[in-house]
Structure 1
Amino acid sequence: MSWRAAIGEGLRDIASGASRPLLFAILFAVTAGGAATWGAVDTTSAVLAADAYVEAGAATFVETSPGRIDGRACDSLVDLASVRAAGAVRESPDGLVAEALPRTRIPLFTATQGFSDVIGFSAPLSLGVVVSTEVASILGATPGATVATMNGPTTVAGVYDYPDDGREAGLAYAAVEAASSIEERYDACWMTVWPEDETAVAALSRTVISADEASAERPTLRQLNSTKGDRFVDHRTTSRPLVGGLAWAAATLSGFGFVWFRRLVVSADRHAGMGRRAQILSLGVQAGIWSLSGSALSFVAVICVTRVSEQNRDPTVWNALVVLLIAMIGAQLGTAAGVATVRERHFFRYFKER
């Protein structure tokens, strides 16, 4: 039998429903596709946990040395591969005093532009001061509003969120303004590092300017939020090799079962003169169709469970696609193995077992 005839035979079996393509597509989606979805769910959970860890400030480190932090050196730390953001800050001695609350001093910090990315300001510091949500609530200020202060009208450029989640409360009730020059000295350098990189954290020490006096206070390094642990703990229970192996095994068994389910027909076709290679091609086409259909169903499930940012979604979805491809190959191997085990001489035994 020619290869075209073998393919045509397989397509006719699919069209007529004789090979139960819907049944095996669902079986493939539940088993092999289930393994791929399980891996995607596990990875998504780990990504969400990592995002929460970073957003809580656990991946942010602060090098403190009053009056000895080099602002330019601090901002330049962002050039390191694992550093997401870095910026220098110092507290102004006078603070900010609103005319509506003359007896209430609002802590005012001066920061470099890089500090905006560390905290996640909603507006550039160059447009005015950025205040915490608590200050904005007390003053009734909104982005773009002008607040009367003892030093004159002050524009509120934006509002930043600084939740009470275990992080140091220094900026929970405060206002931040832009520094007039990055060349000035600061009190602290803040840096967010992700993925974790001890070498990058150690680089914070390079932002400290040498002390003029031997008795100067030594710099201190601390984690902004230590309640989340000093290191991120990945609780994933799966790995790509494990998920791929399970999907491959499940699909291989499905392919073998697909042939064994039709062993009487396979034996009869061989008795009628159809060669083993033609049968592998014909049944392989059928297995390819139902495994591809099952993969499509599984891919929809993977998309639904991957609730992460686009940056993290693409690798997760790609890994799932690789697992499904491995499973489709397993289905073909199982089908070929099934054809190899069917014997023409067992035709009557298969007939009795039908």
Structure 2
Amino acid sequence: MSAKLERHASSASARPAMCLRAIWREACRNLLTGTSRTVALTLVLAACMIGAITVDWLQIRNLESNAAAWVSAGASTYVITAPGHIDGQTCSRLQAVDGVLAAGAFRSVDTRTVLAAFPSTGVPTYQTTPNAVTVFDIASNGLHADGASSSARGLGDGMGIVLSREAADLIGADAGDRLALADGRQTTVTAVYDYPDDGRASGYGYAALEPVPENGMFDSCMVAAWPIPDDLDALLRYTVGDAEPSAAADVNESDSSQSVDATISQLNATLGTVPPSASSFRHRSTGMAFIVVTVVALLAAGASAWSRRVELASALHAGYRRIALITQLTMETTAICCAGMMLSLPLAAYAVTASQTGDRLAMAVALARIVVAVDAGALVGTMLVAAGVRERLLFRFFKER
């Protein structure tokens, strides 16, 4: 008796698994024979995904282009000027702040860099903290700058000079060249930076930069940032005087820095003072595209399932359980959604990898929302029809077919 009960329990536990296998086999047959409208529905869902991804990506790319233009024009580079009162170490440490891409301190010197080949003229010279030229590189070449900055990393006192493009072209020098100075010494051109004449502050278009140790006081601190921190002005003012990064919470230290006559300005203000903001991305008109494609996918999948109403009602009339019917149609629609996703995946992958600002996560989330919305709409549309078909309407469906 106990053996019978065990066999019965085992048979009962295996029944759901057998039922699911049977439902899966039926779903596969419908997909392969075209009963599920496989090709048509796949193309419709893929068209929804590809269309919405394309429209949203084009607008996001336009926003990214505006941001990239802002950065490469030097409009997102800010300068605090307080001659003799900028702490070089504090300025350099600003690079650790979120949003700050590069930071460096500058000070002018009375002596010029005089070359043996041009003893009658000299190149205006500025002493800078190491790697300060990275600020100019980003302000000219944008977020993916890899020219002067990559060549200038690790510069230290006495290792050479960095020339502006104008100065380098005038004397026929390039990065890595050795130059003889008028006083008999030699120096190395460790890097060449671009400084276009597009409205940015003058003084560095024809110049030589001499990296020196960070300790000591400088005349100005430049910070290239994106996205621009809300408290950037306050961060820049912490570089005035002998303030350390920990002085951000020191009210007395902050008050003492305010007594110094310091001015903050953009390196290039020709594009205006209001940068492209993150709200432009959040409130873009195509941001609601996923709602439109959700409705379209719901209607398309619902219409596809409704066109099979005679088949579905017949299955119920033959004793097919409604939960099994809903499960079967869900399996079929899921497979079709996966096929649509595979067709749209190359475009989505290209859009994410081609992101200009490097914020690929935000791009991926925006495009993934479209794909998920289409799939969800298709599944809901299918399940609504599967749940709404009634066996008693079989003969009416048959006459209306």
Normalised to the residue count of structure 1, the TM-score between the two structures is 0.89
Q: Which residue is equivalent to 1:232?
A: 275
Q: Which residue is equivalent to 1:314?
A: 361
Task: Tell me how large the CA RMSD over aligned residues is.
Answer: 2.5
Once residues 258 and 274 of structure 1 are traced to their aligned partners in structure 2, the CA distance between those partners, rounded to angstroms, is 20
How many residues are aligned here?
A: 348
Distance 1:225 1:310, change over 3 A: closer
Which residues of 2 match residues 1-354 of structure 1 at below 5 A?
2-120=19-137, 121-122=148-149, 123-124=151-152, 125-126=155-156, 127-151=159-183, 152-179=185-212, 181-209=213-241, 218-234=261-277, 235-236=280-281, 238=284, 242-306=288-352, 307-309=354-356, 311-354=358-401
Q: Is the 8 A contact 2:104 2:135 kept in 1?
A: yes
Query: What SS does structure 1 have at the residue aligned with 2:203?
Result: helix
Q: Is the 8 A contact 1:70 1:207 kept in 2?
A: yes
Shift of 1:309: 4.9
Shift of 1:110: 0.8
Q: Is the 8 A contact 1:77 1:83 kept in 2?
A: yes
Once residues 233 and 244 of structure 1 are traced to their aligned partners in structure 2, the CA distance between those partners, rounded to angstroms, is 24
Q: Which residue is equivalent to 2:144?
A: none
Q: 4+ residue stretches of structure 1 with deviation over 4 A?
A: 234-237
Query: What SS does structure 2 have at the residue aligned with 1:325?
Result: helix
Once residues 275 and 128 of structure 2 are traced to their aligned partners in structure 1, the CA distance between those partners, rounded to angstroms, is 28
Shift of 1:260: 1.4
Query: What SS does structure 2 have at the residue aligned with 1:87?
Result: strand
Q: Once structures 1 and 2 are overlaid, which stretch shifts more, 36-45 or 144-153?
A: 36-45
Once residues 329 and 198 of structure 1 are traced to their aligned partners in structure 2, the CA distance between those partners, rounded to angstroms, is 38
Whose relative contact order is higher, 1 or 2, with alpha carbons under 8 Å and at least 6 apart? 1
Shift of 1:54: 1.7
- What do the CA deviations read for 1:196-224 (whole angstroms, capped 9, x no partner)? 223122221122228xxxxx982211111
Q: Is the 8 A contact 1:142 1:158 kept in 2?
A: yes
Once residues 54 and 82 of structure 2 are traced to their aligned partners in structure 1, the CA distance between those partners, rounded to angstroms, is 49
- In the alignment, structure 1 segments of 5+ residues that lack a partner are 211-215
Shift of 1:240: 8.7
Q: Is the 8 A contact 2:98 2:229 kept in 1?
A: no
Q: Which residue is equivalent to 1:213?
A: none
Query: What SS does structure 1 have at the residue aligned with 2:228?
Result: coil
- Aligned-partner residue type, residue 284 of structure 1: T
- Aligned-partner residue type, residue 163 of structure 1: P
Once residues 241 and 270 of structure 1 are traced to their aligned partners in structure 2, the CA distance between those partners, rounded to angstroms, is 42
- What do the CA deviations read for 1:245-279 (whole angstroms, capped 9, x no partner)? 33332322222122112222222222222222111
Once residues 48 and 241 of structure 1 are traced to their aligned partners in structure 2, the CA distance between those partners, rounded to angstroms, is 17
- What do the CA deviations read for 1:145-170 (whole angstroms, capped 9, x no partner)? 11222233221111112223332232
Shift of 1:143: 1.4
Q: Is the 8 A contact 2:67 2:357 kept in 1?
A: no
- Aligned-partner residue type, residue 216 of structure 2: E
Distance 1:353 1:107, change over 3 A: farther
Q: Is the 8 A contact 1:32 1:246 kept in 2?
A: no
Identity of aligned residues (%): 33
